[in-house]
Amino acid sequence: MQPDDPAPASGPAPISASAEDFQRTLAVVQGRIDAAAQRAGRDPKEVRLLPVSKTVPEERLRAAHAAGIIQMGENKVQEAQRKSENLADLGIHWALIGHLQTNKARSAAAFAEEFQALDSLRLAQALDRRLQEAGRGMDVYVQVNSSGEDSKFGLPPAEVPAFLAQLGPCSSLRIRGLMTLAANTPDRERVRACFRLMRDLRDAALEAGTIGPGLLSMGMSGDFEMAIEEGSTCVRVGQAIFGARPSPTA
Ligand SMILES: *Cc1c(COP(=O)(O)O)cnc(C)c1O
């Protein structure tokens, strides 16, 4: 937009709708990622931004793609599969980031490049079998319940080492690292403790040789800068890019 363009018609809160809007919003988020990495003495290139497109309609995702968003995270397999079919022409990399029931393994194996919420051996085996059938592989993160909150999925931290050690035979799963949602609390130190716990689990697994490159998917719109300070290599950002979601549980 040129500086002398007329002001846009006033309307509801500014949510990115055009590719240009998305480019601006992305630049802001990327700037915050870079600054957090630099504060922590890290190379910003170590931190991947995974835009979380759940609940966002397909037309807006086309605009987001035009702005350079080529990977998207979704938490529901049905919604993700529908989007992957309707947006197939765009070649988007789809990452499933939410809990998956074992009976949805076949659906996930059909289109997702990546699954960040592995939390049971049964599911690992089901995914592996479906992937073998489809002749595909998948990047996988093991989800950890780092906050201990009942509402959260993921393995208890104490079970992570033994779980990772059992995944070897699932040869179509490429184990990339660990994923978590930190405590949902205004207490910043409790949030930070979740991220530190994840880093310690990752370091132990690297030593045991059970976690591939040992990546850490942690940090969302409300806490991604702190997650980067504590070692995150993948931040999953929805609302800071796409605007507030209608329902807090969505
Ligand atoms: C929704 C979601 C996010 C993104 O949350 P925002 O607050 O929109 O940034 C990240 N990770 C998971 C697993 C999610 O379900």
* Tens digits of residue pLDDT in 54-107: 999 999 999 999 999 999 999 999 999 999 999 999 999 999 999 999 999 999
What pLDDT score does 14 carry? 53
Number of domains in the chain: 1
Q: Assess contact for 165 and 208: CB atoms under 8 A.
A: yes
In a domain, 8, yes or no: no
Q: What gap in Å lies between CA 95 and CA 98, rounded to an integer? A: 9
| Ligand 1 binding site (Cβ under 6 Å of any ligand atom) | 52, 54, 75, 97-98, 181, 220-222, 236-240
Residue 248 lies in a domain: no
Per-residue pLDDT, 17: 81
Is 10 a domain residue?
Answer: no
- Point out the ligand 1 atom lying closest to the alpha carbon of residue 75: 15
Tell me, what's the pLDDT at 9? 46
- 76 domain-assigned: yes
Is residue 168, in this structure, part of any structural domain at all?
yes
For residue 12, being part of any structural domain is answered with no
- Give, as one character, the DSSP assignment of residue 171: T
Domain containing 42: what range?
19-242
Percent of the chain with pLDDT over 70: 92
Which of 25, 29, 75 should be mutated for ligand 1, with most atoms under 8 A from CB?
75
Confidence of residue 13 (pLDDT cuts 50, 70, 90): very low
pTM (whole model) above 0.85: yes
Domain of 91: which CATH number?
3.20.20.10
